Amino acid sequence: MKNKTIKYIKKDISLSNLISNRVLTNEGWEEMDNSLSDLLELKFKEFILSKCHYNKGPFRKISHINFKNIENIGLYDRLVYNIEREEVYYIAGQSYPEEIALLKKFIIKG
């Protein structure tokens, strides 16, 4: 991916994409470059940490997690970063607060 502009087919990149280190481009599935990977790591952490009580156990654990070292589960497809809006959001199924709590629990568990 040297010196070429990548056109992402999907404007939303999920935590699952980060964990698997793959992103869908106009040329098919490709390995994520380090700059995008680092950006996603930071943005996902910021979002999840904003849902934690500062300096409590989960906050400290999540702030030190490397997402590429955790097991990928379907729930992570719902946490996405939108490239155009430059923001992270969660697509809740039933209950946003319960799902966010579950998301934090699985991330901490690894």
Summarised one tens digit per residue, pLDDT across range 55-99 is 667 777 888 888 888 999 999 999 999 988 999 999 988 889 899
How crowded is residue 55: how many other Cβ atoms within 10 Å of its Cβ?
Answer: 8
How crowded is residue 64: how many other Cβ atoms within 10 Å of its Cβ?
Answer: 8
Specify the number of domains making up the chain: 1
The answer to whether position 6 is within a domain reads: no
Confirm if 52 and 62 have CB atoms less than 8 A apart: yes
Q: Give the pLDDT confidence of 35-66 residue by residue, as tens digits.
A: 999 999 999 999 998 888 776 677 778 888 88
The answer to whether position 64 is within a domain reads: yes
H-helix segments, 1-110? 15-20, 34-49, 57-63, 96-109
The answer to whether position 5 is within a domain reads: no
The answer to whether position 1 is within a domain reads: no
Task: Grade residue 8 by pLDDT with cuts at 50, 70 and 90.
Answer: low
Domain housing 16: 12-109
d(CA 10, CA 53): 32
Element (H, E) at 108: helix 96-109
Closest CA to 51 of 108, 10, 101, 85: 101
Confirm if 58 and 108 have CB atoms less than 8 A apart: yes
The answer to whether position 3 is within a domain reads: no
The answer to whether position 20 is within a domain reads: yes
The answer to whether position 34 is within a domain reads: yes
The answer to whether position 2 is within a domain reads: no
Closest CA to 16 of 61, 86, 73: 73
Six token digits for residue 76: 């992570």
